[in-house]
Structure 1
Amino acid sequence: MKSTPRWARWIVPLALLIVWLGIGGTLGPYAGKLGEVATNDQAAFLPRNAESTQVLEARKAFETSPSVPAIIVWTANGNRISAAQQEAATQAVSGLAGGNGVVAAPSPAVVSADGEAMQAVVRLATDLGDELPTVVGEVRQAAQRVTGTTVQIAGPAASQADLSDAFAGIDGLLLGVALAAVLLILLLVYRSVLLPLVIIISAVFALGLACAVVYALADRGVVRVDGQVQGILSILVIGAATDYALLLAARFREELARRGDRMDAAKAAVRRSAGAITASAATVALGLLALLASDLTNNRALGPVGAIGIACSVLATLTFLPAALVLLGRAAYWPATPKPADADLEGHRVWRRIAAVIDRAPRRVWVSTALLLVVLAGFSSTLSSKGVPLDEIFVNDAPSVGAQQTLARHFPGGSGNPAVIITNVGRAAEVRAAAEGTDGVAAVLPATASGRPGTEAPLVVDGRVRLDATLKAAADSGAANGTVRQLRDRVHAVAGADALVGGYTAQQYDTQRTAARDRTVIVPIVLGIILLILIALLRSVLVPVLLVATVALNFLATLGVSALVFEHLLGFTGTDASVPLYGFVFLVALGVDYNIFLMSRVREEALVLGARQGVLRGLTTTGGVITSAGVVLAATFAALMVIPLAFLVQIAFIVAFGVLLDTLVVRSLLVPALVIDIGPRAWWPGALSRRAGSS
């Protein structure tokens, strides 16, 4: 039979390269267009079945035009607000009626009880999108006509405007920082010119494809994207695609040094690394899809979007990258081109020394590292996940935060964010009395047709009325949460009222409860998924159980360190309710990645060399590439810190630190030492546990 012509061998890699160049050229721009289908309206990301979500839907009937309030706060530069200043303020806001984005007549200026400040409410359209910061600026400019005062804008509209500013340019800024960090690390670690560029191109192609798919689905309402999901998708794809590419490129280099022929080397590299790469990707993708069990819409949004990103990362790694490496051959690693003598090297001398230390005293190594992690994990219980106060949502000095603080100093703490009560009109008086008698409630006023609470007869819609209860405590405080709980108990007790309590504080309270419920449901699902994948990959039960236990311990240790750093170094008094769950999904799934890379190679070597030598050889051959992959992934997640939001800063630290802890301690010391100490029994009930002389 005739051998395949030499030219025919190049058809597949050339075809793959052409296809990916077409994907990159056609779909690449979608990495910068995802913001067009993203929404930063946080009201859309509430628990599906919570009471506050029902109120959010019901209150729409009481608004002639959907609106979001901007609260203007004037403070006197002297001692007290004068009558002339109050009149000037009312005239200034009256002039905004019918203006750009204003959907109702603004309320007149109201002076605070201490006489040092006044406020007015301007209702803005909910569909302003990127124009919202501009409209808020116009409101501020009109309010500045009141001489002798300092003007600030508070309320939901101002917060959304600051949020839009925080996410402005997220596509270019975040992607640029992440890619620059990855490129710098790869250049320093591999001292190669072309390989880092090829890996970066592979990751960018994967991101372009993922963003195009997500864009198409979001545009059709199949998935939902906000700024947080958008940022995490970019980081996740760049980090995962780079990790998978490093594993494949390292295996290709090893096979190229051994075989000499680039085509044979590529086939062997793909064959021997595809299992670990796909298993690793499956743990992350399925772990993310487990978020579909959440009752929080933003968690469910991240699940499929993240899984799409992981799938595109694997596709690029197993198709584009091998094609590029085949065409480049040894030139990909220039100036450190692989030589035939390199094939028998057992890893960098540093990793040979680490392996020797573990081999001499495996029990001492794993016990000491496990104790260290247990001590750190002990601090995890001090991490508060009861939500981030309004003044900590932004890590910089956002204007809306300062305005809200000013508002709280001069008016009841809940001003601008009242508890909203929807009840039957026949029991409205009783419900209002019950609300007014609740400790922590400053005032209760009905919504009216004019939009000015309490000045006219209540507005009745389908036999229901709306009451706004201003709380004495700040809307984001624990005291306000307690007031809402009491308020619900009292109004629910009014027979026939069918009363519901919502609003900002109720939304935060319901979100915290739902997040706690999600953790109890999703954590076991993720652990079960990972355990099944590891059992299938490693053909063992005991080793997968040990791996899952070590990454779970690593997660708790990371939370312990995060609790100390957040409180004592970064000044956070709490974390977003979803932060622990996000941190768990990312850290456990990604942490298992490195153990999969290690243990799949250990098993491969153990089948030839025996259990003990298999661990040592697997550690030394994968040590460098897995460590560099961990550093790259940590750096990409750390790039999220460029977005000045506490949620993303907290997620960035947890994942970056946790990945480094997992890579440098758990995967490098704890797992190898533990498997060596247990011996062949660690592979029970697989064939390795019964091999004669396998130790």
Structure 2
Amino acid sequence: MFLKASRAIIAGRWLSVVFWIILAAVLVQVAPNLQEEANTSQQESRSRSSLEAFKASELIAEKFPDVQEVMNNQVTVTLFRDSGLTTADQEYGKALEQFLSTRRDDIRLESTVSPFSDPQNGRALLSTDGKAALVELNLDMTYATDDNNEWLNQTKEVIPRIRNHLSADTAERDGAPAAPAGLDVHLTGGNAIWGDVITLQEESLNRTLVMTLVFILVVLLVIYRSPVAAIFPLISVVLALTISQGVLGIAADAGLPVSPNALVFLIIVLFGLGTDHSLLMFSRFRDNLLDGRDKLDALRSAVTNGGEAIFSSACAVIVAFGAMFFATDANFKGIGPPLAIAVAIEFLVIMTLIPAAMAILGEKVFWPFQPAKVRAKRLRQGADGRAARVGIWERIAGAVTSRPNRFIAITLIALIPFIGLLAGFRFDNNELRALLPTSTDSYQGLTVQREHYGEAAGAENAVSIIIESERPGWDDARLATLRKVGGDLDALPGVSSVTTPDRSTGPGFSADGTSVSLSAMLADDPYSQRAMDTVTEMRETLRQSLRGTDLAGSTAYVGGVTAEVRDNLATQKRDFLLIATVVLIGILLILALLLRSLVAPLYMAATIVVAYAATMGLTVATFQYGFGYSGLWIDAPVAAFVILVALGIDYSIFLMTRVKEEYRNGRQPTREAVRKALASTGSVITSCGIILAGTFTPLLFSGIKSYVEMGFAIVVGLLLDTFVIRTLLVPAIAVKVGERNWWPRRPQPVADEVTTASDEVVPVP
């Protein structure tokens, strides 16, 4: 198949170049903006969610739109002085509130509540220790579930304006009063928090693109010492990225779930994988030229043999990311399938553009390095009788294949302690802490609230309960049932208070008279396990309380921040098991088809699991024991597993396809095939591993906790896989298994004379 493909690619080399450039240009002009489509897709995925917390949010938004608008469009100015608020501080708070009221249109302000202008209703906004005060601002903004893009645009417009008015800089304040010296002023809550999160994610996206481009360019220049060979992979990947963004924009507009979080991984995965695939193709082409083949023969061989490895690699990655389609969690479902589509596009671009460049330029693609001259020099050295140097990978390959037991034992003994560290693994349930750096303005404001108003302070610990009856109307009997429900909920240890509608306050009228809402406040940190357990108890209590009453059979949901976190975590943990199972089965099938074997795929997949376990153990040690984190956010272990399996298997494929090639074409024992394969691919595998790990390194500088944890696990895992698992452990196991690697195929006959490690000296340029 790949031999025919190589001929077609060579024949149509100029057509390939023109086609991809025109397609990219057209998609840039006609395709929808992927960022906007991802925001809309996230909104639609949320509305279709089967999780109770989201159902509660949707029903409340439908039945009580005014209440939901206030709940979600409220931001809070926090004032804090460690020695206690002074009279000047309180005067500033009052003056600030009055000033903001004069800027209603600019900042979309509807109303304010504070202990300064309304001492009676705002009494609870002054901390009991007298060190902090809150000014609540109710904004008139589009609700995110109605139009996520419009909400985002308004947030980016309004929140910076309010922050400017709080600034210490006179010009930025635009006439707002200046805060007294020593008073800490922060803006937090609602739109302020999520505006910071989205801004950070966008900054991380831009930083990732720049850092990745620079890193890959430098590494390729070092590897090839050729600006031509370095620039072509980048051009190809940029085209693949551009086309992928256009295709995914169109697909998202047609209904494909796409998460905004997918955009960062789109850049990283395409640049890392595309560069690796280009590197493998260039290496095959250069090796063939050094063997004395002419340009077209060298290229046909590179596409034929390298193409099989690249195709299998792309299939493995597509299967791994595609497995996320079966997830329930909208974030996983919106990341995996889009990346699978992008990798398929990357494969097509790389497999046509890179060979086209080599077909057009020949060995000039390596300029100023010239394979023909290097080969001539080697031949002269051999003719003069001078011994050529033996490269490091020849020595490593000889050591591994001659003493496999030693390398298997040493490797596993070194990894077991890290795997044992998984016993201390914990999840961090705090979504804001995972997404928002502690240095941000909104997080510091939250810290003030929690330290001076209690761990459960603020709207985050509010629980929303909605009951929808089959018939409208709320008579005395039904209100009595509501009081009973409220009392049962209030009796739970983790509930601080419950507000139940009655005749004096109004029964909480949806407009159609079918629904009623109750509210509760949790007694614990809303992200704690105790708070999530309380939500579980509230749901069971709610259903028990309604049984046998005139509201039996009603739709009843418990929602809120804690409920959403609880439901997401539970779903993601279930999804993790499903994704892991599908990925491993898919990888085994691909490896079995590639190698025509049922034995080798088993230990190749098993070593991936071992590498993942050791990586996560080291990640736990670093963040939980080293940095004192309470645990890891759920995204880190899930993303690390999928990416390490998907991309880590690449190197096994690169190695084992070469082993199969040496074994079958050279008619030599498996031990010798492994030695030659490792000697020839070791430098390629390690170069690919360094490049791929480098593309994920920008996540470490994002400042977002979940990205940092994820990036650390992936970078460490890829380096461990590259330098230990694929280049030491897998070859050693392959040697130990011997001819049984190829079962159920019969062992092939071995040539009468086999070159051994001591007989062959491979020169190094």
Q: Does the pair score TM above 0.5?
A: yes
Contact 1:347 1:623 in 2 (8 A): no
Tell me by how many angstroms 1:586 deviates.
0.7
Q: Deviations over 1:268-317 (max 9, x none)?
A: 21111111111111111111111011110010011221011111111111
1:631 counterpart (648, 672, 690):
690
What corresponds to 2:133 in structure 1? 118
For 1:176 and 1:539, how far apart are their aligned partners in 2? 42
Tell me by how many angstroms 1:383 deviates.
2.6
Gaps of 5+ in 1: 1-7, 449-453
Q: Deviations over 1:310-367 (max 9, x none)?
A: 1111111110000011112111112332134699999971101101111221111112
For 1:162 and 1:212, how far apart are their aligned partners in 2? 27
Contact 1:606 1:612 in 2 (8 A): no
What corresponds to 2:264 in structure 1? 231
1:155 counterpart (185, 189, 195):
189
What corresponds to 2:731 in structure 1? 672
What corresponds to 2:414 in structure 1? 372
> Cα distance 1:274–1:141, how it changes in 2: closer, same or farther (>3 A)?
closer
Contact 2:42 2:330 in 1 (8 A): no
Query: Which has the higher mean CA deviation after the structures are superposed, 547-556 or 572-581?
Result: 572-581
SS of 1:422's equivalent in the other structure is: strand
What corresponds to 1:510 in structure 2? 567
What corresponds to 1:594 in structure 2? 651
What is the letter of the counterpart of residue 39 of structure 1? N
1:183 counterpart (210, 214, 217):
217
What corresponds to 2:442 in structure 1? 400
For 1:347 and 1:281, how far apart are their aligned partners in 2? 35
For 1:560 and 1:686, how far apart are their aligned partners in 2? 38
Q: Deviations over 1:64-104 (max 9, x none)?
A: 374623331433546358787776576566556665445x5
Of all paired residues, the percent bearing the same amino acid is: 28
What corresponds to 1:619 in structure 2? 678
What is the letter of the counterpart of residue 153 of structure 2? D
What is the letter of the counterpart of residue 543 of structure 2? H
Contact 1:431 1:494 in 2 (8 A): yes
Tell me by how many angstroms 1:428 deviates.
2.7
| TM-score in terms of structure 2 length | 0.82
Please tell me the root mean square deviation across aligned C-alpha atoms, in Å. 3.2
What corresponds to 2:463 in structure 1? 419
Tell me by how many angstroms 1:24 deviates.
4.5
Do structure 1's residue 351 and structure 2's residue 393 form an aligned pair?
yes
What corresponds to 1:465 in structure 2? 516
Query: Which has the higher mean CA deviation after the structures are superposed, 632-641 or 90-99?
Result: 90-99
> Cα distance 1:534–1:153, how it changes in 2: closer, same or farther (>3 A)?
same
Q: Deviations over 1:560-580 (max 9, x none)?
A: 111111224444322222321
Query: Which has the higher mean CA deviation after the structures are superposed, 425-434 or 587-596?
Result: 425-434
SS of 2:300's equivalent in the other structure is: helix
Tell me by how many angstroms 1:244 deviates.
0.8
SS of 2:586's equivalent in the other structure is: helix
| TM-score in terms of structure 1 length | 0.90
SS of 2:493's equivalent in the other structure is: coil
Gaps of 5+ in 2: 1-7, 116-121, 144-149, 167-175, 383-387, 469-473, 547-551, 755-765
Do structure 1's residue 659 and structure 2's residue 718 form an aligned pair?
yes
Tell me by how many angstroms 1:222 deviates.
2.5
For 2:254 and 2:439, how far apart are their aligned partners in 1? 37
Do structure 1's residue 432 and structure 2's residue 486 form an aligned pair?
yes
Do structure 1's residue 479 and structure 2's residue 533 form an aligned pair?
no
What corresponds to 2:370 in structure 1? 337
What corresponds to 2:237 in structure 1? 203
What corresponds to 2:544 in structure 1? 493
What is the letter of the counterpart of residue 658 of structure 1? G
What corresponds to 1:69 in structure 2? 73
Contact 2:80 2:184 in 1 (8 A): yes
For 1:535 and 1:468, how far apart are their aligned partners in 2? 56
SS of 1:469's equivalent in the other structure is: strand
Tell me by how many angstroms 1:406 deviates.
1.0
Q: Deviations over 1:18-38 (max 9, x none)?
A: 223334444468999533333
Q: Deviations over 1:594-619 (max 9, x none)?
A: 00010011011011122111000110
> Cα distance 1:413–1:274, how it changes in 2: closer, same or farther (>3 A)?
same
SS of 2:371's equivalent in the other structure is: coil
Query: Which has the higher mean CA deviation after the structures are superposed, 144-153 or 302-311?
Result: 144-153
Tell me by how many angstroms 1:676 deviates.
0.7
2:350 counterpart (303, 311, 317):
317
Contact 1:630 1:659 in 2 (8 A): yes
| 1:16-415 superposed matches below 5 A | 16-27=16-27, 34-39=34-39, 48-61=49-62, 62-64=64-66, 66=69, 68-75=72-79, 77=81, 79-80=84-85, 91=98, 100-102=107-109, 104-107=110-113, 109=115, 110=122, 111-114=125-128, 115-119=130-134, 120-123=136-139, 124-126=141-143, 127-140=150-163, 145=177, 150-226=184-260, 228-339=261-372, 340=375, 349-388=391-430, 390-395=432-437, 397-414=439-456, 415=458
Contact 2:31 2:250 in 1 (8 A): no
SS of 1:128's equivalent in the other structure is: helix
Tell me by how many angstroms 1:266 deviates.
1.5
Tell me by how many angstroms 1:396 deviates.
5.3
For 1:72 and 1:134, how far apart are their aligned partners in 2? 17
| Structure with bigger gyration radius | 2
What corresponds to 2:606 in structure 1? 549
> Cα distance 1:238–1:30, how it changes in 2: closer, same or farther (>3 A)?
farther
> Cα distance 1:348–1:282, how it changes in 2: closer, same or farther (>3 A)?
farther
> Cα distance 1:28–1:632, how it changes in 2: closer, same or farther (>3 A)?
farther
For 1:150 and 1:533, how far apart are their aligned partners in 2? 58
> Cα distance 1:485–1:389, how it changes in 2: closer, same or farther (>3 A)?
same
Query: Which has the higher mean CA deviation after the structures are superposed, 633-642 or 481-490?
Result: 481-490
What is the letter of the counterpart of residue 63 of structure 1? P
Contact 1:93 1:122 in 2 (8 A): no
Q: Deviations over 1:658-677 (max 9, x none)?
A: 11101100111001111111
